[in-house]
Amino acid sequence: MRQIFLDTETTGLSADNGDRIVEIGCVELVNRRLTGNNLHFYINPGRDSHEEALKVHGITSEFLKDKPKFEAVVEELLRYVQGAEVIIHNAAFDLGFLNKELELVARLPFKDHVSKVVDTLVMAKEMFPGKRNSLDALCDRLGVDNSGRTLHGALLDAELLADVYINLTRGQDALLIDAHGPQHGESATPQIDLSGFELPVLHANEQEVAAHDEVLVQIDKASGGKTVWRIAA
Protein backbone atom coordinates (compact mmCIF):
# COMPACT_ATOMS: atom_id res chain seq x y z
CA MET A 1 0.00 0.00 0.00
CA ARG A 2 1.31 3.46 -0.91
CA GLN A 3 0.61 6.14 1.70
CA ILE A 4 1.52 9.83 1.58
CA PHE A 5 1.76 11.93 4.75
CA LEU A 6 1.08 15.55 3.85
CA ASP A 7 1.29 18.88 5.64
CA THR A 8 1.04 22.52 4.58
CA GLU A 9 2.02 25.88 5.99
CA THR A 10 -0.06 28.93 5.06
CA THR A 11 -0.18 32.72 5.26
CA GLY A 12 -3.13 32.54 7.66
CA LEU A 13 -6.18 30.59 8.67
CA SER A 14 -8.73 31.28 5.92
CA ALA A 15 -8.36 30.13 2.33
CA ASP A 16 -11.75 31.67 1.52
CA ASN A 17 -10.50 35.08 2.67
CA GLY A 18 -7.40 35.03 0.51
CA ASP A 19 -4.80 33.19 2.56
CA ARG A 20 -2.52 30.94 0.53
CA ILE A 21 -0.14 27.99 0.90
CA VAL A 22 3.55 28.81 1.46
CA GLU A 23 4.92 25.28 1.95
CA ILE A 24 3.92 21.70 1.15
CA GLY A 25 5.69 18.65 2.57
CA CYS A 26 4.98 15.02 1.65
CA VAL A 27 6.51 11.80 3.00
CA GLU A 28 5.99 8.43 1.31
CA LEU A 29 5.45 5.05 2.96
CA VAL A 30 5.07 1.84 0.99
CA ASN A 31 3.96 -1.23 2.94
CA ARG A 32 4.56 0.76 6.15
CA ARG A 33 8.18 1.48 5.28
CA LEU A 34 9.67 4.91 4.66
CA THR A 35 10.99 5.06 1.11
CA GLY A 36 12.82 8.39 1.15
CA ASN A 37 10.80 9.43 -1.93
CA ASN A 38 9.56 12.64 -0.37
CA LEU A 39 8.27 15.84 -1.97
CA HIS A 40 8.80 19.37 -0.69
CA PHE A 41 7.96 22.82 -2.05
CA TYR A 42 8.22 26.36 -0.82
CA ILE A 43 5.62 28.41 -2.68
CA ASN A 44 5.39 32.14 -3.35
CA PRO A 45 1.83 33.00 -2.25
CA GLY A 46 1.82 36.49 -3.72
CA ARG A 47 0.96 38.01 -0.36
CA ASP A 48 2.45 38.45 3.11
CA SER A 49 1.78 36.07 5.97
CA HIS A 50 -0.23 37.27 8.93
CA GLU A 51 1.88 38.04 11.97
CA GLU A 52 0.47 35.10 13.95
CA ALA A 53 1.13 32.68 11.07
CA LEU A 54 4.68 34.00 10.76
CA LYS A 55 5.24 33.23 14.45
CA VAL A 56 4.18 29.63 13.75
CA HIS A 57 6.28 28.82 10.67
CA GLY A 58 8.80 31.66 10.36
CA ILE A 59 8.67 31.65 6.52
CA THR A 60 9.08 35.28 5.45
CA SER A 61 7.94 36.99 2.27
CA GLU A 62 11.60 37.87 1.58
CA PHE A 63 12.50 34.17 1.64
CA LEU A 64 9.57 33.26 -0.64
CA LYS A 65 9.94 36.00 -3.25
CA ASP A 66 12.00 33.84 -5.65
CA LYS A 67 10.05 30.63 -5.00
CA PRO A 68 7.62 29.19 -7.60
CA LYS A 69 3.90 29.92 -7.65
CA PHE A 70 1.48 27.05 -6.94
CA GLU A 71 0.61 26.81 -10.63
CA ALA A 72 4.24 25.94 -11.39
CA VAL A 73 4.31 22.92 -9.02
CA VAL A 74 0.72 21.63 -9.26
CA GLU A 75 1.42 19.02 -11.95
CA GLU A 76 4.32 17.52 -10.00
CA LEU A 77 2.28 17.48 -6.81
CA LEU A 78 -0.70 15.75 -8.44
CA ARG A 79 1.51 13.16 -10.13
CA TYR A 80 3.14 12.40 -6.80
CA VAL A 81 -0.11 11.86 -4.85
CA GLN A 82 -2.03 10.20 -7.70
CA GLY A 83 -3.94 7.16 -6.46
CA ALA A 84 -2.29 7.14 -3.02
CA GLU A 85 -3.90 7.09 0.41
CA VAL A 86 -3.11 10.53 1.82
CA ILE A 87 -2.87 11.00 5.58
CA ILE A 88 -3.20 14.48 7.10
CA HIS A 89 -3.53 15.76 10.67
CA ASN A 90 -6.61 17.99 10.85
CA ALA A 91 -7.32 17.26 7.19
CA ALA A 92 -10.15 19.78 6.84
CA PHE A 93 -7.69 22.66 7.23
CA ASP A 94 -5.13 21.46 4.65
CA LEU A 95 -7.79 20.27 2.20
CA GLY A 96 -9.48 23.66 2.36
CA PHE A 97 -6.27 25.33 1.22
CA LEU A 98 -5.35 22.68 -1.34
CA ASN A 99 -8.81 22.81 -2.87
CA LYS A 100 -8.70 26.60 -3.09
CA GLU A 101 -5.28 26.51 -4.80
CA LEU A 102 -6.54 23.84 -7.23
CA GLU A 103 -9.68 25.85 -7.93
CA LEU A 104 -7.58 28.91 -8.80
CA VAL A 105 -5.70 26.90 -11.46
CA ALA A 106 -8.88 25.22 -12.77
CA ARG A 107 -8.14 21.74 -11.40
CA LEU A 108 -10.44 19.24 -9.69
CA PRO A 109 -10.56 19.07 -5.87
CA PHE A 110 -7.74 17.22 -4.13
CA LYS A 111 -9.77 14.12 -3.23
CA ASP A 112 -10.43 13.47 -6.93
CA HIS A 113 -6.73 12.77 -7.44
CA VAL A 114 -6.14 10.33 -4.57
CA SER A 115 -7.68 7.07 -3.43
CA LYS A 116 -8.55 8.21 0.09
CA VAL A 117 -7.83 10.88 2.70
CA VAL A 118 -7.32 9.81 6.33
CA ASP A 119 -7.47 12.35 9.16
CA THR A 120 -5.21 11.38 12.08
CA LEU A 121 -6.86 14.01 14.28
CA VAL A 122 -10.16 12.10 13.96
CA MET A 123 -8.32 8.82 14.69
CA ALA A 124 -6.64 10.31 17.75
CA LYS A 125 -9.89 11.74 19.15
CA GLU A 126 -11.46 8.29 18.91
CA MET A 127 -8.46 6.62 20.61
CA PHE A 128 -7.84 9.33 23.24
CA PRO A 129 -11.19 11.04 23.93
CA GLY A 130 -11.03 14.14 26.08
CA LYS A 131 -7.26 14.52 25.70
CA ARG A 132 -5.13 16.98 23.73
CA ASN A 133 -4.53 15.54 20.29
CA SER A 134 -2.32 18.10 18.57
CA LEU A 135 0.67 16.71 16.70
CA ASP A 136 2.98 17.75 19.54
CA ALA A 137 0.71 16.13 22.14
CA LEU A 138 0.61 12.88 20.17
CA CYS A 139 4.38 12.89 19.77
CA ASP A 140 4.73 13.18 23.55
CA ARG A 141 2.10 10.52 24.23
CA LEU A 142 3.46 8.03 21.70
CA GLY A 143 7.16 8.56 22.30
CA VAL A 144 7.95 10.25 18.97
CA ASP A 145 10.96 12.58 19.18
CA ASN A 146 9.88 16.08 18.17
CA SER A 147 12.74 17.93 19.84
CA GLY A 148 13.74 19.49 16.50
CA ARG A 149 10.35 21.16 16.07
CA THR A 150 10.99 24.70 17.30
CA LEU A 151 8.89 26.10 14.42
CA HIS A 152 6.32 24.36 12.28
CA GLY A 153 7.62 23.10 8.94
CA ALA A 154 5.59 21.13 6.41
CA LEU A 155 8.20 18.45 5.66
CA LEU A 156 9.26 17.98 9.29
CA ASP A 157 5.62 17.81 10.39
CA ALA A 158 4.85 15.24 7.67
CA GLU A 159 7.78 13.12 8.90
CA LEU A 160 6.57 13.37 12.50
CA LEU A 161 3.05 12.50 11.38
CA ALA A 162 4.31 9.34 9.69
CA ASP A 163 5.94 8.25 12.98
CA VAL A 164 2.78 9.11 14.92
CA TYR A 165 0.60 7.15 12.49
CA ILE A 166 2.81 4.06 12.69
CA ASN A 167 2.47 4.19 16.48
CA LEU A 168 -1.28 4.81 16.36
CA THR A 169 -1.77 1.78 14.10
CA ARG A 170 0.92 -0.50 15.51
CA GLY A 171 -1.67 -3.14 16.38
CA GLN A 172 -2.31 -3.61 12.66
CA ASP A 173 1.20 -4.94 12.00
CA ALA A 174 0.20 -8.54 12.64
CA LEU A 175 -2.59 -8.26 10.05
CA LEU A 176 -0.34 -7.04 7.23
CA ILE A 177 0.95 -9.38 4.54
CA ASP A 178 3.93 -8.25 2.48
CA ALA A 179 3.03 -9.36 -1.04
CA HIS A 180 6.63 -8.88 -2.15
CA GLY A 181 8.10 -11.34 0.33
CA PRO A 182 10.95 -10.61 2.77
CA GLN A 183 12.94 -7.44 2.24
CA HIS A 184 16.69 -7.38 1.78
CA GLY A 185 18.39 -8.55 4.98
CA GLU A 186 15.23 -10.08 6.41
CA SER A 187 14.52 -13.78 6.74
CA ALA A 188 11.26 -15.40 5.77
CA THR A 189 9.01 -16.55 8.62
CA PRO A 190 9.52 -20.32 9.03
CA GLN A 191 6.53 -22.47 8.16
CA ILE A 192 5.64 -25.12 10.76
CA ASP A 193 3.67 -28.23 9.85
CA LEU A 194 1.06 -28.75 12.59
CA SER A 195 -0.57 -31.79 10.99
CA GLY A 196 1.40 -34.18 13.21
CA PHE A 197 0.29 -32.57 16.47
CA GLU A 198 -2.59 -34.14 18.39
CA LEU A 199 -4.27 -31.61 20.65
CA PRO A 200 -5.56 -32.97 23.98
CA VAL A 201 -9.27 -32.60 24.77
CA LEU A 202 -9.93 -31.37 28.31
CA HIS A 203 -13.45 -32.16 29.54
CA ALA A 204 -15.16 -29.99 32.14
CA ASN A 205 -15.60 -31.54 35.58
CA GLU A 206 -18.92 -31.63 37.47
CA GLN A 207 -18.22 -28.41 39.38
CA GLU A 208 -17.38 -26.54 36.15
CA VAL A 209 -20.49 -27.87 34.40
CA ALA A 210 -22.67 -26.77 37.33
CA ALA A 211 -21.09 -23.29 37.32
CA HIS A 212 -21.68 -23.02 33.57
CA ASP A 213 -25.33 -24.02 33.96
CA GLU A 214 -25.81 -21.38 36.67
CA VAL A 215 -24.39 -18.67 34.38
CA LEU A 216 -26.82 -19.73 31.64
CA VAL A 217 -29.73 -19.51 34.10
CA GLN A 218 -28.73 -15.98 35.10
CA ILE A 219 -28.37 -14.87 31.46
CA ASP A 220 -31.76 -16.38 30.66
CA LYS A 221 -33.38 -14.47 33.54
CA ALA A 222 -31.76 -11.20 32.50
CA SER A 223 -33.06 -11.59 28.94
CA GLY A 224 -36.61 -12.33 30.07
CA GLY A 225 -36.50 -15.83 28.65
CA LYS A 226 -35.40 -14.71 25.19
CA THR A 227 -32.03 -16.44 25.03
CA VAL A 228 -31.11 -18.23 21.82
CA TRP A 229 -30.94 -21.68 23.43
CA ARG A 230 -34.47 -21.27 24.91
CA ILE A 231 -35.93 -20.10 21.56
CA ALA A 232 -34.15 -22.91 19.67
CA ALA A 233 -35.49 -25.49 22.14
The verdict on whether 152 is a catalytic residue reads yes
Q: What is the DSSP letter of 38?
A: -
Label residues 128-165 b or e (16+ Cβ within 10 Å = b).
eeeeebebeebbebbebebeeeeebbbbbbbbbbbbbb
* Burial class (CB within 10 angstroms; exposed 0-12, middle 13-18, buried 19+) of 79: exposed
Looking from the CA of 43 toward its CB, the CA atoms found within 13 Å total 27
Beta-strand pair 85-88/2-10: parallel
Using DSSP's 3-state secondary structure scheme, residue 155 falls into helix
Catalytic residue among 57, 89, 113, 152: 152
The CA–CA distances, whole Å, from 217 to 100, 205, 227, 231 equal 63, 19, 10, 14
Residues marked active site are found at 152
